Structure 1
Amino acid sequence: MTASSAPYLRPPWGARVIGNRMARLFARSVLSTLSVRGRTSGRWRSVPVAVLDHGGERYLIAPRGNTEWARNLRAAKSGRLQRKGRVEEFEAIEVPADERPPLIAVYLEQFGRFPTVAETFRQLPDPADHPTFRVVDSRGLR
């Protein structure tokens, strides 16, 4: 299976329209805003994401599979994370599928209580279905 044919679980209307807005308001302590350039338009696209801190590294995991943000990040190889008014530019290194299971397990421990997160991993159980990126500070720092 190629990255472009990997499964994607489209969120229901309520999650797309209302959920993302509510998440930005009520889950600020947990969520960051990921901004990445669109792979065809070049325009910045933003979405709330949960950043996994694990083993001294940070990761972005796409619970819904091959999302637009994951495909854009794969193409751009860099992006911005904003949290609590602080903006950080970073480089993204995709984690091979065989290295994802322990990261997904920790992600589920930390974020599985949020609406639909655990369910998406049940619907897409193969770690290869969840693009995962290590976040590396553009200045060469964590």
Structure 2
Amino acid sequence: MKQKLIDLETKKLVNADETTQTYTIPKLREFDHDLCRKELAKMVIVDDLLFAFVEREGFCAYCKVLNPQFVPPSRTTATKDCYALYIQKRNQLKDMFKNLKSRIFLTTDCWTSGQNIGYMCLTAHFVDDEWVLHKRIINFCPIVGHSGEFIGRIVEKCDS
């Protein structure tokens, strides 16, 4: 487990006569199981995969070929990893909002699904200190009505 792995890093060197020379540098690194689990959690979220995906035979065989040291987590552990990543990102966003010098504008989008369930998405829009416009979804929840008073109460509760 503590044995280092060899990575090959390719570098390009442009000579004075503008010819390009490519060379490869071997680089040692250690296997980081926690980093692999974190990246797996990101993959599950970004690619909208089922938590059970991590226990499927094909994925486990692929992981074994890719790096025999990586043991794929159970679906329960993958769920916990995704939730931990969510909490981390939520806290980063809260810290960013606390230190933000500009204002934050909120928009709501409400709709009713085909099963007659109402939903609301609360989005924050803001400009950072480098004048880059951002938008972040800060709440997504089922609702029972579309009235302004009801939506206002939900927005007020969205401080955690």
Q: Kindly indicate which of the two structures has a greater share of residues assigned to helix.
A: 2
Bigger relative contact order, structure 1 or 2 (CA pairs below 8 A, ≥6 apart): 1
Scaled by the length of structure 2, the TM-score of the pair is 0.21
From the CA coordinates, give the structure whose radius of gyration is larger.
2
